[in-house]
C-alpha cells in the first residue's frame, strides 16, 4: 500500500529501465537501512508486511508537514476550507471546499452515520488519491468515476453500486481496490480493459471480469498491470494473456471447470513474469489442477481445492509438478487427497522452498523424505488435519534452515515425532526449534 501511494503521489520517477515497483522497493530498503523506517512484521518468506517509524521521527515529520503545509489532518472540528493538497480525515462530515486537494485518506476513529460521511463531489476533479476502505464507509462507484484525474482509488462500495461503462475516463488510474460487503459480485464493464496505466486491480470480495473483445479495433495492451486479484471464472485464453503480458500477482477463483470449451487456465504458462499465484477451485473435477502448466517464474503458490468432485486433486500427481518449480519459495495447499496414502519426495524437488503448509489433505499415512537435501531451505512447516499421518520424517529435523513446525489436529503419533525432532535438534546442535501443536 505504501509503495502504491508513493506512485500515485508522483514521488517516484522511472529511471534506468526499472519499473516503479522495483524503484519503490529500493527506496524502502534504503529507508530501512538508515533506520528511518522500522520493520514491524515479516511475511512467511522474509518479505516486509508491516512497517512503522520511531515516535521521535514521527513527531518530527508531523512538525515539518505542518510547517511546509504538506498535508492537513481533519479531526473534531473540520474547517470551512482547506488549502493543503493532502488531507487525512479523522472525523466525518462534508467539507465546504476541497478544490485544492490532491489526496484524501479517510481514517475515521469510530463508526459514523450514513449521512455524515464525506462523499466525492464536483469540487474534487483534481483529486489523485482517494483511500477510504475501512468497514464504516460505503461509496457509490458512480460518484467515484467522476474523479477523472484519479491515480489511486481504494474504497468500500455501497451494495447498490454498479460499474459505469465510462470507467475508461479514468485514464490516469494506476491502482483500483474495491471492497464490498454484499453477496452479489460486481460485474466490470468491458471498458476496464482500456485502462492502460493500471498497475494494480484488486477485489477482495470477487469480481466478474469480462473477457476482452477479440474484434475490438482499439486494442489496449495493459503493459503496466502487475496485480490482478479477486477475479472469478476468468478464461485465461490467448487474448487475455496478450492484454496483460507482465502480470506478477494473480488471485483467481473458478467455479466452472470448462468455459467455452476451453481449459480456463490453458495459457497460464505464458505469463513469464508471474511470481505469485493464488488459485481457488470449487466443485471441480479432480483433474482440473492437473491440467495446469505452471510458469517457472512462480515464487508463491496458494491452492485451495474446495468441494471438488471425484474426491479432489490427486496430490501424488500434482506435488511432483509443483516441486519442480525452480524458484518456488512458498507453497500452501488446502484440501486434495493422497489416494495411495503415501508421499515420497525425490531429489531435486522444492530446492528453494521456505514455507510449506498443507491443510485438510486427507489420506496421508506415510510421508517419506530420504534426505534433508530434498527441502534444503525450508524454514517453516505447517500441517493441519492429518489424523492418519504416522510421523514427520526424521530427515526433516536435519534441515539446517528449519525454524518452526506448526501442527493442528494431527495424529498423536505425528505430534510425538515432531517433539522428538525438537529434542534431538536441541541435544545435537543446541538449537531451539519452535513447535506449536493444538
pLDDT digits (tens, 9 = 90+) for 58-111: 999 989 988 888 888 877 666 666 777 888 877 665 554 677 788 888 876 555
In our burial notation (b when 16+ CB lie closer than 10 A, e otherwise), range 169-191 reads bbebbbbbbbbbeeeebbebbeb
- Domain boundary (17, 41, 68) is at 68
How far is residue 91's CA from residue 388's CA, in Å, rounded to a whole number? 54
Write out the three cell numbers for 349: 524437488
Residue 190 belongs to a domain:
no
Which run of H or of E encompasses 320? helix 315-323
- Domain boundary (51, 68, 85) is at 68
Question: What is the per-residue pLDDT for 261?
Answer: 45
Residue 429 belongs to a domain:
yes
**Which whole-number Å values give the CA distances from 229 to 41, 104, 164, 367, 379, in the listed order?**
23, 24, 20, 34, 27
Count the neighbouring beta carbons within 10 Å of the beta carbon of residue 244: 21
* DSSP annotation of 9: T
Q: When comparing pLDDT for 2 and 164, which is higher?
A: 2
Question: For residue 396, what are the domain limits?
Answer: 338-438
What is the band of 26 on the pLDDT scale with cuts at 50, 70, 90? very high
Question: What is the per-residue pLDDT for 59?
Answer: 93
Domain count for the chain: 2
State yes or no: pLDDT of 301 exceeds 60: yes
Write out the three cell numbers for 86: 493532502
What is the band of 346 on the pLDDT scale with cuts at 50, 70, 90? confident
Question: What is the per-residue pLDDT for 163?
Answer: 86
Residue 7 belongs to a domain:
yes
pLDDT digits (tens, 9 = 90+) for 244-266: 999 999 999 888 655 544 567 87
- Domain boundary (31, 48, 68) is at 68
Q: Report the range out of 39-43, 256-260, 291-295 with the highest average pLDDT.
A: 39-43
Residue 199 belongs to a domain:
no
Question: What is the per-residue pLDDT for 277?
Answer: 96
Residue 48 belongs to a domain:
yes
How far is residue 406's CA from residue 69's CA, in Å, rounded to a whole number? 49
Residue 431 belongs to a domain:
yes
Residue 434 belongs to a domain:
yes
Residue 403 belongs to a domain:
yes
Amino acid at each position: 500500500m505504501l509503495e502504491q501511494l508513493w506512485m500515485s503521489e508522483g514521488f517516484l520517477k522511472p529511471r534506468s529501465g526499472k519499473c516503479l515497483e522495483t524503484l519503490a522497493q529500493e527506496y524502502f530498503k534504503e529507508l530501512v537501512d538508515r533506520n528511518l523506517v522500522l520493520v514491524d512484521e515479516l511475511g512467511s518468506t522474509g518479505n516486509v508486511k508491516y512497517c512503522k517509524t520511531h515516535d521521535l521521527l514521527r513527531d518530527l515529520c508531523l512538525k515539518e508537514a505542518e510547517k511546509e503545509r504538506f498535508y492537513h489532518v481533519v479531526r473534531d472540528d473540520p474547517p470551512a476550507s482547506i488549502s493543503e493538497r493532502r488531507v487525512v480525515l479523522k472525523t466525518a462530515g462534508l467539507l465546504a471546499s476541497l478544490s485544492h486537494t490532491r489526496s484524501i485518506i479517510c481514517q475515521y476513529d469510530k463508526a459514523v452515520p450514513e449521512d455524515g460521511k464525506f462523499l466525492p463531489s464536483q469540487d474534487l476533479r483534481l483529486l489523485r488519491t482517494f483511500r477510504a476502505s475501512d468497514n464504516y464507509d460505503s461509496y457509490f462507484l458512480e460518484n467515484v468515476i467522476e474523479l477523472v484525474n484519479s491515480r489511486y482509488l481504494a474504497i468500500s462500495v455501497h451494495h447498490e453500486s454498479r460499474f459505469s461503462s465510462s470507467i475508461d475516463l479514468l485514464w490516469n488510474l494506476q491502482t483500483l481496490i474495491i471492497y464490498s460487503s454484499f453477496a452479489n459480485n460486481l460485474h466490470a464493464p468491458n471498458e476496464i480493459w482500456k485502462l492502460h496505466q493500471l498497475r494494480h486491480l484488486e477485489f477482495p470480495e470477487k469480481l466478474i471480469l469480462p473477457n476482452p473483445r477479440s474484434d475490438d479495433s482499439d486494442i489496449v495492451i495493459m503493459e503496466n498491470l502487475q496485480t490482478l486479484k479477486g477475479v472469478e471464472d476468468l478464461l485465461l485464453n490467448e487474448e487475455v494473456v496478450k492484454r496483460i503480458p507482465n502480470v506478477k500477482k494473480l488471485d483467481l477463483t473458478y467455479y466452472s471447470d470448462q468455459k467455452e470449451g476451453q481449459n480456463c487456465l490453458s495459457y497460464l504458462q505464458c505469463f513469464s513474469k508471474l511470481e505469485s499465484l493464488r488459485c481457488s477451485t470449487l466443485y471441480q473435477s479432480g483433474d482440473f489442477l492437473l491440467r495446469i502448466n505452471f510458469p517457472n517464474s512462480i515464487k508463491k503458490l496458494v491452492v485451495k481445492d474446495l468441494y471438488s468432485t471425484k474426491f479432489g486433486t490427486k496430490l501424488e500427481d500434482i506435488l511432483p509438478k509443483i516441486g519442480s518449480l525452480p524458484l518456488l519459495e512458498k507453497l500452501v495447499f488446502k484440501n486434495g487427497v493422497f489416494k495411495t496414502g503415501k508421499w515420497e519426495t525425490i531429489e531435486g524437488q522444492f530446492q528453494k522452498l521456505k514455507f510449506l503448509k498443507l491443510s485438510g489433505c486427507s489420506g496421508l499415512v506415510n510421508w517419506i523424505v530420504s534426505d534433508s537435501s530434498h527441502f534444503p531451505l525450508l524454514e517453516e512447516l505447517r500441517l493441519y488435519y492429518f489424523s492418519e499421518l504416522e510421523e514427520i520424517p526424521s530427515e526433516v529435523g536435519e534441515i539446517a534452515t528449519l525454524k518452526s513446525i506448526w501442527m493442528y489436529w494431527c495424529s498423536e503419533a505425528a505430534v510425538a515425532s515432531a517433539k522428538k525432532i525438537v529434542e534431538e535438534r536441541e541435544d545435537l546442535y543446541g538449537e531451539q526449534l519452535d513447535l506449536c501443536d493444538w
